[in-house]
Amino acid sequence: MNSNKTIKWVEAGKIFSRDPKGDFQCPECELHKLQSEDRYSEANPRELQRTIFCPGCGARYTLRLRRYDK
Ligand SMILES: [Zn+2]
């Protein structure tokens, strides 16, 4: 992963931390839009793990987000 790609993943992380249906091109293959999947940790219910991934090349990046009570 070169630094340019790292910057793009960080940008994607910012977008997806706000919007699970964020619109961002995969930084690795630049062919597909990234998708996201949320998972809650049973051990730590206040933590949300949001994995952003590319359906084409399989690149993935996991965000750890804090859940807030509604
Ligand atoms: Zn990709």
Domain boundaries, the chain: 3-66
CA of 28 to the centre of ligand 1 (A): 5
CA of 43 to the centre of ligand 1 (A): 31
CA of 41 to the centre of ligand 1 (A): 26
Are 12 and 32 a contacting pair, CB within 8 Å?
Answer: no
CA of 8 to the centre of ligand 1 (A): 12
How does pLDDT run across 17-68, given as a tens digit for each residue? 999 999 999 999 999 999 999 998 888 888 999 999 999 999 999 999 988 7
For residue 29, the SS3 value is coil
CA of 1 to the centre of ligand 1 (A): 13
pTM of the model: 0.84
Cα–Cα distance measured from residue 24 to residue 19, given in angstroms and rounded to the nearest whole number: 11
